[in-house]
Structure 1
Amino acid sequence: MPIPSSYRQLASTLVVLLVFFVPELSHAQHDLGPAGSSLRSLYNAYQKYTSAGKSAASFGEGPALVSVHAGRVSVEIVTEVGKRSRVAARLHSLGMRGVQSNARLITGWLPVGKLPNAVAIDGVHSIYPALMVAQSGSVTSRGVEVMETEALSTALGTSGQGLVVGVLSDSYDNYDGSQPGQATASDDVSTGDLPGGGRVQILQDSSTPASDEGRAMMQIVHDVAPGADLAFHTATGGRAAFADAIRSLAASGSRVVVDDILYLNEPAYQDGIVTRAIDEVVRQDDVVYVSAAGNTGRDAFESPFRGSGTEGPLGGEMHDFDPGPDVDPIQQISISDDSQFQIAFQWSQPYASTGGPAAISDLEIYLVDKRGRLLPSVQPERRDNVGGDPFEFINVQDLSVDADGDGTDDTEFGLVIERISGPAPERIRYVPFQQRGEISVEEYATRSPSLYGHPNAESAITVGATAWFDTPEANGDLTAPLVHTFSAVGGTPVLFDALGQEIPPVVRQKPDVTGPDGTNTTFFGQPLNDGDDFPNFFGTSAAAPHVAALAAIIRSGRPDATAEVVKRAIIASAEDISSTRDDVETTIAGEDAQGFDFFSGTGLVRGDQVTVSAFPVRAFQARATERAPGGRVIVSWEEKEAAGIDTYRVEQSYVGQPFNEIASVPSSGGGAYEQAISDVRPGTHTFRLTWTTSSGDQIRGPETQVMVSVKGEAVVTKQPFPNPTRSSFRLELTASQSQNVVLAMYDVLGRYIRTVYTGRLRAGQPSLIQVNRVSQTASGQHFIRIIGETFETVVPVTVLR
């Protein structure tokens, strides 16, 4: 029978679910609790494999997208506050390799047999498999013709000479044979599809066999910008390893960097550690960073969490998918029996792994069969998210279910979202990532923006995809290019700052531009009836390196152009796109498709339309002259003569928060400028210079960072608020060095009441501390004694009952 579509039809099914499934699915009763059911299944398979007398080092079978090789699995471990270092040391002792750390996250390759030992380490909150997807979809790329880059190379007199383009993907020369061709890296050098003579630098290749998609991307860069040198670093190994790889390429001299990777558990509503690494290399190292938008179109589902009043099989409340007056806790979806896909699920709460506050709710997402029963082969992860990351996932490979016993594999299934504990989040969202087969949402599809994670980074040039044959240059019947329907749509809001504090929604204009795909490589891609035998590389993975190569030509010809100037020039060069391949007008949220839109950005990049004006500002810097409190920073810069600037604006961002204008300075027509900023709080400040030209154009210029240190050992940078309070309050502390801190409450007579907080402060960075359960304290004046390892202070707070 079809999946029930209303609460009334579902009631009898739920009785059966609750009677027969609750005991099996209790959070407290599953093995490897913090690791979830996917890693539990992997461990069970490992035990079966080794118990048959096979070597642990030869175990390499894992679920789709879970990287397993030589008895090890690529994992991401979220740690508890202040315990990352000791957890990392314990993981080393268990034989974990390639350990990388960032904020509260540790990534690396853990022996599968040590999973029970890892979950038992004090300080481990949760463990996830590192879920990485690539945005793919005597050879020369047709992108050269489509983008008209030869005209730009001729005008600038360069094809990328003197520049290094860094590429981040799965692998370079560790081919697993998964693609149609069999060419190796040495073959590509010998045929001229990659540069020889030591012009390819491999910082780190994948330790496991992979598709060599990075090499295919490098072929594209070499076709478009043959004068540029190339560098490669694998992005495998988890988010912390990915962020470190970005910094490594920048440090090794890559002035343009491009990636085609996404980790499914990158934050959607917050800038994560990969995004921060991108912003860092762009702002501090002046790197042009290019990222593939993704291939998920408008496949995302997003909604407020609506309680259905129905208890699910895990003991929580099921989400009501029906936005109207009816109640429907199951969303009908269709899945072909040969499908392989993942569904990444998030909700609007902060990520613990970024180093700030954590999720305060525990949610689950799972599939049911057409009779409303859980699938034995695709179990809920059942990982407690409270105190960790607001992320869960579904991983499906070759689903075979016959719920009605008719001898035929079912294609009708249901999707359920269940709130196990904590408050209902304001937003929930999921994005399907499909490798093969078909998955379609049959009801309540919201067709929401699917672009998220580091492709949504403000500093990146994010690239959508247009088939080279869907352009006027290749198809005379077209008057404008068409964007792929699968190209990921932007518009996902950022709701939390880098510290995990809620901010007004920030919607970035993403993607920035579109690049061509479907071009030839020597081995990677799929056959296409285009007059040759070479495979064709589709997806935003192929579009992004085209744009990176264009950036290399610009930087080579205009070495004084900053990353921001190059980005603006590329965006301004684009040819407008108003339709997708299936002729659906590219509008979202009622916006006109002319000019920028969330499908194609400003359009298909055109090298013959690139203009790079001389950069009018140099030597922009900031220096701290006094420590906080009462900190003082001097911002200075120089202007070239006759630059045509009317007014400068100095903007400030504090520890990753949005920029705000703090000073307006009229141009004097050239020379040196200096602006003093007073009462600057301790911590890291980013200053940005923007200006308005005499013709009215708004130009965003360079950025610089400065650390304002603490005067003394620690400062209460925000007094308790609200004060007076009835239930809870917050205060902010900044210490000169990292240390543990304890907050204890005393009455006016100095009598100890109780300890209200224990935690850890980060050196030079403000820590927002939440104190709860104040309502249990008598009314009146109280004092909070703050005791650190190097300081002690007291602040007053008034409690009202």
Structure 2
Amino acid sequence: MNTPIIIALYACAVIGNSAIAQSSPAKLNGTPSADAVNAALEANNHSRPKEASNVKVGRFLQAAISKQKTSQQVLESPFLTFKNDSRVQVYITLKDTSEQSLTHLKEHSLIIEIENSSLNKIQGWVDIDKISALSQLENVTRITAPTYSRAHAGRVTTQGDSILRANQLRNLGVTGKGVKVGIISDGASDWRTAANSGDLPNNITTYGSCTKRSADPQNCRSRLTCNEGTAMAEIIHDIAPDAELAVAAVSTSLEFIQQINRLANTFGADIIVDDLGFYGEPYFEDGDLARAVSSLPSNVLYFSSAGNAANIHYERQYSATSNSRHNFGSQSGGNDDAIGFSIGANRGAFVLLQWNDRYEQPNSNYDLFVFDQNSEIDNSTGSNTTAIEGTCIYNSSSTEAVRFAVIDKISGSDRRLEMFFLGANAIEYPTPAGSVFGHAGTRRALAVASINSDKSSVAFYSSRGPTRIDYPSFENRAKPDMAATDGVSVTGAGGFPTTFFGTSAAAPHAAAVAAQLLSASDDVTPQKVRSALLASASGGGGGSDVGSGRINAFAAFERLNVTISATDPSSPLSPEDKKKVITPILILLNDE
């Protein structure tokens, strides 16, 4: 193994209101023990079963069942959510969702939360030791772990209202009146706190629920305030104060599908915006979420955050070293069968691998191992019923630590490999291109990138395109579509940070400007708004960093070439409101 390339890491910290602190460069040097790697891979190959023990049960559930049998306790996992120690949340795919079929499931103590008849999928809770019996039911085709969301939050301050010239458009009386905006996030549990301070209206509609939690770095679970939706709503209300708002709280992909349809069909949203990434969804084909977004009514404008993974993403075609391990050094003409990544003190990094095979029917099998410099730490191995591997690596020390990931091809053909190192400080061979995926990568969604307030180029963490699709046919979709500024002062209701940042903040900025434009005249259609935003954006030119560029509310309005509809004279902002200043505050990238 060659010595990894040195990576410089620049971290931000909370230093009053304006200063930026830079850390010393973190060096990703050293390699794991070659003997330890060889021993771990050899032991894995010897112990590998000829076939999956239960092809109906997903590999992450299989691993949890196996651990429970050997340790007599359920171990937490970023892929699984447990309740009362033994009850686990699952997806069950059925041949049909008839009443008789659901009755059979309930007889096995399944508590059903969501029934999606169009996908023939059920979300529910079941005792882990009853999963094998459930899988034997004739109507059951698959039992898997749910796909969970992660918010796309980042770490830069901006003053988006003036930079995007939304304030100039609002001064003309274009305030989003008559437009409904639906928000998908982790929730808005304390939105009334912001309403009481005048930062939100008193008539927000909410759907779903969220339970707050502390950070659990040992299991790669970030802190959850249940108020990212509150912060998104505040951004939209600042820019389009007369728009009607709804916030839907989601955690799983089935909840996401349920809520976007509720926002579109029950709330009647003209615009929907989300800031969530589902890293368990397929990277190389349109999964359930992507298809659901693409199927929304054509008169609904859809915005999604592009993601904050540019600097923690890796993607390359599999290239063998002298054995079956992937050569991470091939991009620079070297020979390196491990990729280094750093984890902060008392932090967890969630390492994920997918390859461009049919997601639920892969013909190839790759295993993922993680090592320190001496021995194996963890692995994600076994017969693959889906084309995904993943593991949580926890650094319990008081200093930053370097770990190494190794990919071993077990069987099948050479595939495109894609990895995310969620929570890592830096990785050895970062590949920004291709880090936009999933529903944000559909043609239907407008994926929004981030540009810092003091710069004209994309933020270093803002995910880049294109979005590669291999099934059912090859596509390279141009992404992201546009960019917006990515930070604004918010109330911090419910314990959310007082500065909202990252593409999670950029997306609601874009949605708010769209609400302004849609309210400008009865002659303005959603398609005209979409076209005006893309045509008037600047600094992009359709590139993989910021798409058409940073949006410009006033320039987009001018492109519409319409006369402003008559409005209530009380709707434009008062002079005092127009003078509102957004105070920049710097805050850490990490959710904790």
Q: TM-score range by the shorter chain?
A: 0.7 to 0.9
Q: Which moved more, 1:121-130 or 1:336-345?
A: 121-130
How much has 1:84 moved relative to structure 2? 7.0
Label 1:462 to 1:446 Cα distance change in 2 as closer, same or farther (>3 A).
Answer: closer
Aligned partners of 1:288 and 1:563 also within 8 Å: yes
- In structure 1, give the amino acid aligned to 2:356: S
2:40 counterpart of 1:17: yes
Other-structure match for 2:461: 486
How much has 1:359 moved relative to structure 2? 2.1
Aligned positions, number: 516
Give the Cα separation in 1 of the matches to 2:147 and 2:531.
Answer: 34
2:216 counterpart of 1:247: no
SS at match of 1:251: helix
SS at match of 1:318: coil
Label 1:145 to 1:46 Cα distance change in 2 as closer, same or farther (>3 A).
Answer: farther
Residue among 335, 347, 363 paired with 1:339: 347
Higher relative contact order (CA 8 A, sep 6+): 2
2:247 counterpart of 1:301: no
Label 1:216 to 1:28 Cα distance change in 2 as closer, same or farther (>3 A).
Answer: same
Other-structure match for 1:457: 442
Residue among 373, 376, 386 paired with 1:374: 376
SS at match of 2:543: coil
How much has 1:450 moved relative to structure 2? 0.8
Other-structure match for 1:507: 476
Aligned partners of 1:79 and 1:87 also within 8 Å: no
Other-structure match for 2:22: none
Other-structure match for 2:410: 420
Aligned partners of 2:311 and 2:426 also within 8 Å: no
2:197 counterpart of 1:191: yes
Other-structure match for 2:91: 77
Other-structure match for 1:713: none
SS at match of 1:202: strand
Residue among 532, 535, 542 paired with 1:596: 542
- In structure 2, give the amino acid aligned to 1:428: L
How much has 1:514 moved relative to structure 2? 1.2
How much has 1:76 moved relative to structure 2? 5.2
Q: What's the CA shift string for 1:201-232, capped at 9, x where partnerless?
A: 11323366642211111111111111011112
Aligned partners of 2:309 and 2:432 also within 8 Å: no
Give the Cα separation in 2 of the matches to 1:421 and 1:441.
Answer: 27
How much has 1:467 moved relative to structure 2? 3.2
SS at match of 1:431: strand
- In structure 1, give the amino acid aligned to 2:486: D
Q: What's the CA shift string for 1:92-146, capped at 9, x where partnerless?
A: 4433332243766735242454564466444444522533210013xxx942222
Other-structure match for 1:613: 560
SS at match of 2:315: strand
How much has 1:260 moved relative to structure 2? 0.4
Label 1:379 to 1:449 Cα distance change in 2 as closer, same or farther (>3 A).
Answer: same
> Where does the alignment leave 5 or more consecutive residues of structure 2 unmatched?
6-31, 214-223, 563-592
Q: What's the CA shift string for 1:638-677, capped at 9, x where partnerless?
A: xxxxxxxxxxxxxxxxxxxxxxxxxxxxxxxxxxxxxxxx
Give the Cα separation in 1 of the matches to 2:406 and 2:348.
Answer: 19
Q: Which moved more, 1:295-304 or 1:416-425?
A: 416-425
Label 1:146 to 1:379 Cα distance change in 2 as closer, same or farther (>3 A).
Answer: same
How much has 1:522 moved relative to structure 2? 0.9
Give the Cα separation in 1 of the matches to 2:41 and 2:560.
Answer: 68
Aligned partners of 2:52 and 2:384 also within 8 Å: no
State the Cα RMSD in Å: 3.8
How much has 1:32 moved relative to structure 2? 11
2:394 counterpart of 1:397: yes
Give the Cα separation in 1 of the matches to 2:467 and 2:165.
Answer: 32
Aligned partners of 1:344 and 1:431 also within 8 Å: yes
2:325 counterpart of 1:318: yes
Other-structure match for 1:130: 147
Aligned partners of 1:33 and 1:383 also within 8 Å: no
Other-structure match for 2:296: 281
Other-structure match for 1:559: 522
Aligned partners of 1:464 and 1:488 also within 8 Å: yes
Give the Cα separation in 1 of the matches to 2:246 and 2:40.
Answer: 54
Give the Cα separation in 2 of the matches to 1:37 and 1:516.
Answer: 38
Label 1:458 to 1:189 Cα distance change in 2 as closer, same or farther (>3 A).
Answer: same
- In structure 2, give the amino acid aligned to 1:292: S
How much has 1:338 moved relative to structure 2? 2.6
Residue among 97, 100, 110 paired with 2:112: 97
Q: What's the CA shift string for 1:745-799, capped at 9, x where partnerless?
A: xxxxxxxxxxxxxxxxxxxxxxxxxxxxxxxxxxxxxxxxxxxxxxxxxxxxxxx
Other-structure match for 1:678: none
- In structure 1, give the amino acid aligned to 2:384: D
Aligned partners of 1:32 and 1:119 also within 8 Å: no
Aligned partners of 1:225 and 1:552 also within 8 Å: yes
Aligned partners of 1:126 and 1:383 also within 8 Å: no
How much has 1:148 moved relative to structure 2? 1.4
Q: What's the CA shift string for 1:262-318, capped at 9, x where partnerless?
A: 1102222222221222222252xx1011100101124322222234463xxxxxx43
Other-structure match for 1:786: none
How much has 1:322 moved relative to structure 2? 3.9
Other-structure match for 2:283: 268
2:492 counterpart of 1:523: yes
List aligned pairs for 1:528-543, cutoff 5 A. 535-543=498-506
Give the Cα separation in 2 of the matches to 1:108 and 1:542.
Answer: 30
Going by fraction, where is helix more abundant, 1 or 2? 2
Label 1:466 to 1:269 Cα distance change in 2 as closer, same or farther (>3 A).
Answer: same
Aligned partners of 1:281 and 1:287 also within 8 Å: yes
Label 1:613 to 1:518 Cα distance change in 2 as closer, same or farther (>3 A).
Answer: closer
How much has 1:3 moved relative to structure 2? 7.7
List aligned pairs for 1:52-201, cutoff 5 A. 62-64=76-78, 66-69=80-83, 75=89, 77=91, 79=93, 82=95, 90-93=104-107, 94-101=109-116, 106=121, 108-114=123-129, 116-117=131-132, 120-122=135-137, 123-125=140-142, 127-137=144-154, 142-155=159-172, 157-173=173-189, 184-196=190-202, 199-201=203-205
Other-structure match for 1:581: none
Q: What's the CA shift string for 1:520-578, capped at 9, x where partnerless?
A: 11116999xxxxxx8111111111111111111111123333322211111223232xx
How much has 1:461 moved relative to structure 2? 1.5
Aligned partners of 1:526 and 1:537 also within 8 Å: no
Label 1:428 to 1:368 Cα distance change in 2 as closer, same or farther (>3 A).
Answer: same
Larger radius of gyration: 1
- In structure 1, give the amino acid aligned to 2:233: M
> Where does the alignment leave 5 or more consecutive residues of structure 1 unmatched?
52-58, 174-183, 311-316, 353-357, 401-407, 472-480, 528-533, 577-593, 616-801
How much has 1:44 moved relative to structure 2? 5.3
- Percent of pairs with identical residues: 23
- In structure 2, give the amino acid aligned to 1:561: V
Aligned partners of 2:148 and 2:278 also within 8 Å: yes
Q: What's the CA shift string for 1:616-643, capped at 9, x where partnerless?
A: xxxxxxxxxxxxxxxxxxxxxxxxxxxx
Give the Cα separation in 2 of the matches to 1:428 and 1:544.
Answer: 28
SS at match of 2:491: coil
Aligned partners of 1:282 and 1:289 also within 8 Å: no
Other-structure match for 1:719: none
Aligned partners of 1:555 and 1:566 also within 8 Å: yes
Going by fraction, where is strand more abundant, 1 or 2? 1
- State the TM-score, normalized to the length of structure 2: 0.76
How much has 1:430 moved relative to structure 2? 1.0
SS at match of 2:511: helix
2:421 counterpart of 1:432: yes
Other-structure match for 1:362: 365
SS at match of 2:168: helix
- State the TM-score, normalized to the length of structure 1: 0.58
- In structure 1, give the amino acid aligned to 2:204: V
Give the Cα separation in 2 of the matches to 1:38 and 1:398.
Answer: 24
How much has 1:512 moved relative to structure 2? 1.3
Give the Cα separation in 1 of the matches to 2:97 and 2:320.
Answer: 36
Give the Cα separation in 2 of the matches to 1:37 and 1:65.
Answer: 7
Label 1:108 to 1:187 Cα distance change in 2 as closer, same or farther (>3 A).
Answer: same
